[in-house]
């Protein structure tokens, strides 16, 4: 049986992309899988009694070493802020390529805590900072120093001791450019080094809390129970900074979605599903429910989504238990068709993620294809014709071409870069100043403009001739030729309309990161938790790929 890949006109709608969930393809899971047999070490731990100082952690295999350098500094209460406008943090980190010398650490001690205002070098790969959840951290210190374990309910609710507010890589602030390291096999999956940084930071938070408790009461203090540690991750506050990323990296976006879609297609094409595979799927699905019930949000939009997800999932599980026949041919295809017909988008995509769990042989090879050599597709094939380009637009942007951008509601917002923080923002173009400095993220509107211009141009013209007088739309000409080759490279929605939910763009990216606990605070930012439940570095040798559901 040959199942078609899902239609980009369905999959690439923002509401659908914003319904994606973590899966076996997620970067933090694939990172752990890749590095499970690397040698982990704490190389340096020079903290004072209050937990301030320097620490170094490393992963090593043969001649390759990656070292996390941690700087913990004293911070006044009034200086602690999770906002991007903050200038000081409890801790600052960089992932160093190799083993840092004393001189490297001294150099970085002056730069890393400054974050965006510091200068890094090609020896450093990623950069980040994190703030304590003061309430949780202090509670844990107090408890441990008295010889008792902390309140698990409180820890479960918050989920972390520290939260990061940004993780930078790929050449930012002088960090190593990707071209220097892209041929290393261990980092073929996207964001591997960012994941490594966060994972090692998590271990630092446990070591630091144990250290402070021990110094507070050397005779009575106990260490934080490893089981409790396992259930703690690293928090992360994420705002609009992430949203334009998926528009600005079309081939990368395509490769992420394509891996997911190809997995689904191949799974639907399996004729006979073994009992073991069915058991694993059902086990993951049922256990995963606890992740959803732990989501807290004040956003009405998200509350409705989560509620309908839970209702649908319970109904779906009941259907599987009572009515569904896994012995029938192409059972997963039948199950998928049933899902599409009867359940909400959030539930469909949730189950799609779960369907991948039993099929390592299908999913794992696809992880290698989730990076992209974006440079290869940059040049516009100017020998092609206006007729070719028009056909691409009609074929790949059919619904977008129907949007009427002369209506205010379809052209309401604009994306811009804030001067204060050099971060992307969105605003109402009719109420706010600055629309003339709009970023090129209104792809749907510009595609429509391009189509209108092409319609009054000669079909036989080459793109070279068309561009010689129409370079103002060059950015979307490039995109159209990319989407011709990469069907999942474009969001099939209007990113400047009244109905835009930027959080859908964030959720898409975070689902590929592997975030478990979404805590949307509004339609523009959310908190997540990474690596909650993940094995600790010293447990990696007995790595269990299904840790997410334990």
Partner 1 sequence: MKSLSEIETVSKRACRAAGYSWGVAEEVAKNIRLLEIFNLPGIKNLNSFFKKKKELRLENISLIYKDNEANKNGYCPIIAGLNCLDQIRTIDNLNEITFKKIAYPLLFLPFISRASEVIGKRIFLKMDDREFLLNFNNNIYSNHTKNEIIESAENIYLKVLENQDSFEEKEWNELYKLSEETFVEENESLKQGGAGAGLTDND
Name the residues that contact partner 1, by CB under 8 A: 121-122, 170-179, 375, 378-380, 382-383, 417, 439-440, 463-465, 467-469, 471-478
Residue number, 246 or 463, with CB nearest to partner 1: 463
The CB-of-382 to partner 1 minimum distance in angstroms stands at: 4
The CB-of-251 to partner 1 minimum distance in angstroms stands at: 14
The CB-of-228 to partner 1 minimum distance in angstroms stands at: 39
Do 229 and 206 touch, CB atoms closer than 8 A?
yes
Residue number, 157 or 182, with CB nearest to partner 1: 182
The CB-of-472 to partner 1 minimum distance in angstroms stands at: 4
Buried b (16+ CB within 10 A) or exposed e, 123-148: bbbbbbbbbbbeebbebbbebbbeee
The CB-of-381 to partner 1 minimum distance in angstroms stands at: 9
The C-alpha angle 15, 16, 19, rounded to 5 degrees, equals 90
Strands (E), 200-317: 233-238
The CB-of-413 to partner 1 minimum distance in angstroms stands at: 17
Strands (E), 124-213: 124-132, 160-168
How many other CB atoms are there within 10 angstroms of residue 354's CB atom? 23
Residue number, 325 or 379, with CB nearest to partner 1: 379
177-183 long-range Cβ contacts below 8 angstroms, 24+ apart: 177/122, 180/122, 181/97, 181/125, 182/371
Closest CA to 236 of 208, 210, 207, 197: 197
Q: What are phi and psi for residue 416, nearest 5 degrees?
A: -145, 170
Element (H, E) at 66: strand 64-72
Closest CA to 192 of 395, 325, 26: 26
Quick check: helix, strand or coil at residue 54?
strand
Closest CA to 208 of 237, 234, 190: 234
Do 157 and 136 touch, CB atoms closer than 8 A?
no
Q: What's the token pair of residue 16?
A: 């659908």
Residue number, 86 or 467, with CB nearest to partner 1: 467
User: What letter does residue 385 receive in the DSSP assignment?
Assistant: B
The CB-of-481 to partner 1 minimum distance in angstroms stands at: 12
Closest CA to 540 of 528, 549, 531: 531
Residue number, 78 or 375, with CB nearest to partner 1: 375
The CB-of-120 to partner 1 minimum distance in angstroms stands at: 9
The CB-of-475 to partner 1 minimum distance in angstroms stands at: 4
Residue number, 121 or 215, with CB nearest to partner 1: 121
Q: What's the token pair of residue 383?
A: 């020998």
Residue number, 125 or 426, with CB nearest to partner 1: 125
- Rounded (to 5) percent helix, strand, coil in the chain: 50, 15, 35
Task: Provide the pairing of β-strand 160-168 with 233-238.
Answer: parallel
Residue number, 55 or 463, with CB nearest to partner 1: 463
Q: What's the token pair of residue 272?
A: 């006979």
Residue number, 332 or 481, with CB nearest to partner 1: 481
| Residue 84: alpha-carbon gap to chain centroid | 18
Closest CA to 156 of 233, 226, 212: 233
The CB-of-476 to partner 1 minimum distance in angstroms stands at: 7
Residue number, 294 or 439, with CB nearest to partner 1: 439
The CB-of-152 to partner 1 minimum distance in angstroms stands at: 43
Do 344 and 308 touch, CB atoms closer than 8 A?
yes
Do 219 and 481 touch, CB atoms closer than 8 A?
no
The CB-of-65 to partner 1 minimum distance in angstroms stands at: 22
Residue number, 172 or 223, with CB nearest to partner 1: 172
| Neighbouring residues of 102: CB distance < 8 A, sequence distance ≥ 6 | none
Q: For residues 392 and 382, what is the distance between their CA atoms, to the nearest angstrom?
A: 14
Strands (E), 143-296: 160-168, 233-238
The CB-of-506 to partner 1 minimum distance in angstroms stands at: 21
Residue number, 307 or 475, with CB nearest to partner 1: 475
Residue number, 273 or 482, with CB nearest to partner 1: 482
């Amino acid at each position: 049986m040959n199942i078609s890949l899902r239609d980009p006109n369905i999959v690439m709608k923002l509401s659908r992309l914003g319904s994606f969930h973590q899966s076996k393809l997620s970067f933090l899971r694939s990172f752990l899988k890749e590095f499970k047999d690397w040698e982990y070490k704490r190389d340096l731990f020079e903290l004072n009694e209050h937990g301030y100082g320097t620490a170094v952690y490393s992963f090593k295999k043969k001649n390759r070493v990656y070292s996390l350098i941690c700087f913990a500094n004293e911070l006044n209460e009034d200086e602690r802020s999770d906002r991007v406008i903050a200038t000081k943090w409890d801790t600052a980190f960089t992932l160093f390529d190799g083993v840092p010398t004393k001189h490297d650490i001294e150099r970085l001690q002056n730069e890393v805590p400054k974050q965006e205002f510091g200068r890094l070098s090609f020896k450093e790969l990623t950069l980040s900072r994190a703030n304590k959840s003061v309430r949780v951290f202090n509670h844990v210190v107090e408890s441990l120093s008295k010889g008792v374990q902390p309140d698990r309910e409180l820890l479960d609710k918050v989920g972390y001791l520290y939260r990061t507010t940004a993780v930078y890589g790929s050449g930012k602030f002088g960090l190593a450019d990707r071209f220097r390291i892209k041929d290393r096999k261990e980092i073929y999956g996207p964001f591997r080094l960012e994941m490594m940084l966060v994972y090692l930071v998590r271990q630092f938070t446990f070591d630091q809390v144990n250290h402070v408790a021990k110094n507070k009461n050397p005779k009575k203090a106990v260490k934080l129970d490893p089981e409790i540690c396992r259930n703690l991750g690293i928090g992360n506050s994420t705002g609009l900074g992430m949203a334009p990323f998926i528009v600005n990296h079309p081939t990368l976006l395509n490769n992420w979605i394509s891996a997911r879609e190809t997995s689904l297609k191949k799974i639907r094409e399996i004729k006979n599903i073994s009992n073991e595979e069915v058991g694993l799927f059902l086990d993951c699905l049922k256990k995963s429910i606890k992740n959803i019930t732990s989501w807290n949000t004040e956003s009405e939009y998200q509350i409705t989504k989560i509620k309908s997800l839970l209702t649908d999932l319970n109904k779906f599980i009941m259907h599987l238990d009572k009515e569904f026949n896994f012995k029938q041919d192409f059972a997963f295809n039948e199950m998928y068709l049933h899902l599409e017909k009867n359940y909400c988008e959030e539930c469909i995509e949730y189950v799609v993620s779960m369907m991948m769990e039993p099929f390592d042989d299908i999913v794992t090879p696809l992880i290698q294809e989730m990076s992209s050599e974006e440079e290869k597709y940059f040049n516009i094939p100017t020998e092609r014709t206006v007729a070719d380009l028009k056909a691409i637009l009609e074929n790949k942007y059919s619904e977008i071409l129907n949007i009427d951008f002369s209506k205010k509601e379809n052209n309401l917002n604009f994306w811009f870069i804030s001067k204060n923080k050099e971060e992307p923002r969105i605003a109402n173009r009719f109420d706010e100043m600055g629309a003339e400095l709009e970023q090129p993220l209104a792809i749907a509107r510009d595609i429509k403009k391009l189509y209108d211009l092409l319609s009054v141009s000669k079909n036989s013209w080459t793109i070279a001739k068309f561009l010689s007088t129409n370079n103002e739309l060059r950015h979307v000409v490039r995109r159209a030729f990319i989407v011709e080759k990469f069907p999942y490279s474009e969001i099939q929605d209007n990113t400047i309309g009244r109905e835009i939910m930027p959080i859908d763009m964030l959720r898409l990216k975070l689902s590929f990161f592997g975030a478990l606990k979404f805590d949307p605070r509004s339609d523009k930012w959310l908190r997540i938790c990474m690596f909650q439940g993940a094995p600790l570095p010293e447990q990696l040798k007995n790595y269990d790929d299904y840790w997410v559901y334990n």
